[in-house]
Amino acid sequence: MGQSVTVPITISVNGKQHSAEVEPRLLLAQFLRETLSMTGTHIGCDTTSCGACTVIIDGSSAKSCTVLAVQANGAEVTTVEGLADGDTLHPIQEGFWEKHGLQCGFCTPGMMMSAVALLNDNPEPSEEEIRHGLAGNVCRCTGYHNIVLAVQYAADKMKS
Amino acid sequence: MIPAPFQYHKPTSVAEAAELLKKHGSDAKILAGGHSLIPLMKLRLAQPEVIIDIGAIESMSYIQEREEGIAIGGTTHYVDIANSSTVPKALSEAAAQVADVQVRNRGTIGGSLAHSDPAADLPAALVALKGQIITSSTNEHRTLESNEFFQDLFTTALREDEIISEILVPAESEETGSAYVKFGNKASHYAVVGVAASVTLTNGKCIEASIGVTGAGPAAYQASESISELVGSDLGDGAIEKASAKAGEGVDFNDDVHASGEYRAHLVTVFAERAIRLAASRAS
């Protein structure tokens, strides 16, 4: 069995630097939820399938259940907690609210992070591009129709 | 799910990574994007004592046009290959169909090839394009041909002390067309069967053809029987149909919860035909 020697890491999360001594096997999702107590990032399937744990690492969306915290050392991470500006919702959050993009809400943080990454790359996605861009996120209750509407709402809002 | 404990190393060069690999031998595993290895470690199907993380070696991630072909760094992410207009179409198309956006942002070409998952997309494209896999160890570089690289289920010609440092694929001339199409699993997007084809047409005659198949058998393979039907033909319907029918010849088909062997044998012929037709439409 390998030795469990901790490693010092510093990760910027939503613009704030966080330093910690972590075991190399600690997953980024656990670092966020357990070390930093930021539980907005959900762990669903824990097998790189459902996308509930999606965060943005240095501008690219990633499933944080399949990233070691040590791999993200020095990176800039954005989580769902970083979307709103105080009491002002991010356009994607507003879109999910206005278009009823959620029921139980479990998949929502990951959906929104994937949507934000998609809109950063492609500010005016077609419906097909939205569906393709969200292919790594699974919703088991609302269904995808209203989620697509929520992303379209956000795209329109961000354009104006 | 939490992986078993391991020692973590983050080398800053291929040479340093190779030294670490030599030192730790079979106790060590190379981590690039981690999108094959970390899931295995979480399930404890892999319990390496030492992890050598090459994901941050910047000089390993590139796509370069060279005289000898197009060189792709071992840790180049799927997303960069999918978005590249430099690499042959079969390769960018295969990379674009790997899993989903998040996985394509993290997973690497070297990781996919080294893992040799029977349902991975990139091996089929590499085989069809007759790509070469360049490995590095402390004392040598080896150049391995892709049709000899994928040996069996999760088994490659890569030695324990070697790292995939580069992938080399021939540049496509205007007379050559290539394509990758697959029947993907709806949940995982893994290839139940995937076929890459590359054909070269000169004066209406096929002078070269190559077909790589993934998902069907234990490892990606070159459909040699199909190729002999295509070379010398005009790539008309008759030749393509004959070639497609032979794309699964001699294969020990995978038979699992996703598809029976019989179904895969059928899918190979259907997707071979689609891949050849698409590649042919892009040639000349």
* Whether pLDDT at A142 is above 90: no
**Residue A33 is assigned to a structural domain of this protein:** yes
Query: What integer best gives the mean pLDDT of chain B?
Result: 97
Q: What is the pLDDT of residue A143?
A: 85
Residues 6+ apart with CB under 8 A from B118: B153, B154, B214, B215, B217, B218, B219, B220, B254
Three-state DSSP class for residue A11 = strand
Which one of A7, A55, A71 would you mutate to disrupt binding with B, by most B Cβ within 10 Å of its Cβ?
A: A71
Residue of B2, B102, B117 to mutate when probing chain A, most A C-beta within 10 A? B102
Provide the 10 A C-beta neighbour count for residue B25. Answer: 10
* pLDDT above 70 (res B171): yes
Do B153 and B188 lie in one domain? The reply is no
Smallest Cβ–Cβ distance between A66 and the set B5, B39, B101 belongs to: B39
- pTM for the predicted model, two decimal places: 0.97
Q: End of a domain among B147, B169, B191? A: B169
pLDDT band at A125 (very low <50, low <70, confident <90, very high): very high
**Per-residue pLDDT tens over the stretch B113-138:** 999 999 999 999 999 999 999 999 99
Q: What is the pLDDT of residue A10?
A: 98
Beta strands in chain B (DSSP E): 7-9, 28-31, 50-53, 63-66, 69-73, 132-136, 141-145, 150-152, 155-156, 163-169, 176-184, 191-202, 205-214, 221-222
Mean pLDDT, residues B240-247 taken together: 98
Closest CA in chain A for residue B54: A71
Domain that holds residue A141: 91-159
Q: What is the DSSP letter of A29?
A: H
Confidence band (pLDDT; 50, 70, 90) for B60? very high
* Residue A1 lies inside a defined structural domain of this protein: no
Question: Please, what is the angle between helix A108-121 and helix A91-98, to 10°?
Answer: 120
Question: Residue B119's pLDDT is what?
Answer: 97
Asked if residue B1 belongs to a domain, the reply is: no
* B248: CATH: 3.30.390.50
Cβ contacts from A onto B, under 8 A: 98
Give the mean model confidence (pLDDT) for residues B41-55: 97
Q: Within a domain: residue B2?
A: no
CB count within 10 Å of CB B187 equals 10
Q: How confident is the model at residue A2 (pLDDT cuts 50, 70, 90)?
A: low
Overall average pLDDT of the B52-56 stretch: 97
Domain span at B45: 7-53
Instruction: Report pLDDT for B33.
Output: 97
Binned at pLDDT 50, 70 and 90, residue B284 comes out as confident
* B1 contacts on A by Cβ (under 8 Å): 46-47
Query: Which chain A positions have a beta carbon within 8 Å of B41's beta carbon?
Result: 25
Angle between helices A144-159 and A91-98 (to 10 degrees): 140
Same domain, A16 and A69: yes
Tokens for B47? 């319990």
Residue that finishes a domain, picked among A40, A56, A82? A82
pLDDT value of residue A1: 53
pLDDT of B73: 98
Nearest CA in chain B to A66: B38
- Alpha-carbon distance of B107 to B32, in angstroms, equals 8
- Are A73 and A108 contained in the same domain? no
ipTM of the assembly? 0.97
Average of per-residue pLDDT across A31-36: 98
Query: Residues A12, A73: one domain?
Result: yes
Number of alpha carbons in the 13 Å side-chain half-sphere of residue B101: 29
Residue A121 has pLDDT above 90, yes or no: yes
Rg (C-alpha) for chain A, rounded Å, is: 16
pLDDT, position B75? 98
The verdict on A101 and A71 lying in the same domain is no
Q: What is the mean pLDDT of chain A?
A: 96
Is it the case that residue A15 has pLDDT exceeding 90? yes
pLDDT for residue B202 = 96
pLDDT tens digits, A84-98: 999 999 999 999 999
Task: To the nearest 10°, report the CA torsion of B186, B190, B193, B199.
Answer: 120
Nearest chain B Cα to A4, which residue? B5
Domain boundary among B16, B36, B53: B53
Convert the pLDDT of each residue in B109-118 to its tens digit. Answer: 999 999 999 9
Residues B45 and B70 reside in one and the same domain: no
Question: How far, in Å, CA of A125 to CA of A152, rounded?
Answer: 8
What average pLDDT does the segment A93-118 reach? 97
| Closest to B132 measured CA to CA, from B114, B120, B146 | B146
pLDDT at A3 over 70: no
Nearest CA in chain B to A135: B100
| DSSP structural state of residue A28 | H
* % pLDDT > 70, chain B: 100
Whether residues A23 and B1 touch (CB distance < 8 A) is answered with no
Last residue of a domain, one of B169, B187, B202: B169
